[in-house]
Amino acid sequence: MLTPSIQSVKLKENKEKGGILMRNIAEVSDLVLRETEKIIVGKGDKIRLVIMAVLADGHVLLDDLPGVGKTTLVKALSTALGCTRARVQFVPDLLPSDICGMKIYDQKSGDFRVVQGPVMTNLFLADEINRAIPRTQSALLEAMEERQVTIDGETYALPHPFLVLATQNPVESESTFRLPAAQMDRFLIRLSLGYPAAEEEMSMLRSLGDRIPFHRVETVTNAGELSALQAEAAKVHVSDAVAEYIVSLAAATRAHSALTMGASPRGSRSLYRAAKVWAAMEGRDFVTPEDVQYLAVPVLAHRLLLTGEARFSGLTAERVVEEILKSVKVPPKREELLR
């Protein structure tokens, strides 16, 4: 089992006592889930995947219908995580400087000064990201990959952790621009919350009332502890057999007849990193093939490009990944995973 060896930054409720919390990834992820579920009803499995992405230092694309709780999820999650957040509504006339910042002339000092953009935060919500023109979308590429932005030739580091949680509406095509493959590949996972079940929706109406009670959500961690937990997740063991399994899955996407583009090396690295965090959230210090299988669709599917014939026939990237999971040989018994 993972030892609770993370020394967190002192939290608000702990300052008066002068104590230091000693918590592991499983404990913190459960606390964050509990607080977020005060607002988002019946989506615990999806929330856990978003928490996994945060702990894996990865970006999230919420590809979903309007009104199902995408923005609400980010607001509740950022409060529970104790992180700063910023929200930008992406529209066609949004400029890269509206995201990254700009230099302006200060008449008092007689010199130029930098005005930082909203990207200088921990959780950056890019709402309806596909409504911005490609030039503006590409302004996030450097931030997502290198955790920095360049303003008039000068580079500025972003806060750590820095994560993009982007949303897009899959049913509207007017005034939208498809995200380029290079940007899709930078998202660790793509998720869809979907409509709630009838009993979940009834529970939501009864528990949340007329207004969303964000005041109920308590902060249970902070950016300092998250950074420490991200470092701890890197210590989770991945056997050669499981690593080879990940490589085999990625290779199978590149050879699939229904795909014009398979998973990139960044995709296999993302699956590797995500599986480590998922194992830690489950209280283990080693990755199993089941971890990889559970994460394969949300981590890999959005990186794949279908052929025209496959799209016309109704095939989806998710189904392709599921087919590959059935065809690729699974690693051996559990005891060999520790080698």
Residues 281-297: pLDDT tens digits?
Answer: 999 999 999 999 999 99
- In angstroms, rounded to a whole number, what is the distance separating the alpha carbons of residues 291 and 289? 5
- CA-to-CA separations, 187 to 167, 291, 339, in angstroms, rounded: 12, 19, 31
pLDDT at site 16: 36
Lowest mean pLDDT segment, chosen from 194-208, 220-234, 287-301: 194-208
- In angstroms, rounded to a whole number, what is the distance separating the alpha carbons of residues 234 and 120? 25
Nearest partner of 291 among 256, 255, 331, 320, judged by Cα: 331
Looking at the chain, the whole-number percentage of residues with pLDDT higher than 90 is 56
Query: 194: left (phi > 0), else alpha (psi -120 to 50), else beta?
Result: left
Range 99-120 burial, b when 16+ CB lie within 10 A, else e: bbbbeeeeeeeeeeeeeebbbb
Does 334 have pLDDT greater than 80?
no
Does 8 have pLDDT greater than 80?
no
Average pLDDT on 45-54 reads 95
pLDDT at site 65: 77
Does 6 have pLDDT greater than 50?
no
pLDDT at site 42: 84
Residue with tokens 């996407």: 253
DSSP 218: P
pLDDT at site 286: 94
Does 104 have pLDDT greater than 90?
no
Between residues 107 and 309, the one the model is more confident about: 309
Q: How confident is the model at residue 333 (pLDDT cuts 50, 70, 90)?
A: low
- In angstroms, rounded to a whole number, what is the distance separating the alpha carbons of residues 236 and 26? 13
- In angstroms, rounded to a whole number, what is the distance separating the alpha carbons of residues 234 and 73? 26
pLDDT at site 53: 96
Average pLDDT on 292-305 reads 96
- Give the range with max mean pLDDT: 36-50, 168-182, 257-271: 257-271
Q: How confident is the model at residue 172 (pLDDT cuts 50, 70, 90)?
A: low
Q: How confident is the model at residue 22 (pLDDT cuts 50, 70, 90)?
A: low
Average pLDDT on 63-92 reads 87
Q: What is the overall mean pLDDT for the chain?
A: 86
Average pLDDT on 83-104 reads 90
pLDDT at site 204: 80
One-letter amino acid for residue 84 of the chain: T
- In angstroms, rounded to a whole number, what is the distance separating the alpha carbons of residues 320 and 151? 41
Does 68 have pLDDT greater than 90?
no
pLDDT at site 337: 60
The 10s digit of each residue's pLDDT in 112-160 is 888 889 999 999 999 889 888 888 888 888 999 999 998 888 899 999 9
pLDDT at site 190: 95
pLDDT at site 178: 83
Q: Which domains does the chain have, with CATH numbers?
A: 1-233 (3.40.50.300), 236-339 (1.10.8.80)
The tokens describing 18, both together, are: 């002068």
The tokens describing 254, both together, are: 């590149």
Q: Which helix (H) or strand (E) holds 245?
A: helix 240-255
pLDDT at site 17: 36
Q: How confident is the model at residue 200 (pLDDT cuts 50, 70, 90)?
A: confident
pLDDT at site 331: 86
pTM above 0.75, yes or no: yes
pLDDT at site 12: 38
Between residues 108 and 312, the one the model is more confident about: 312
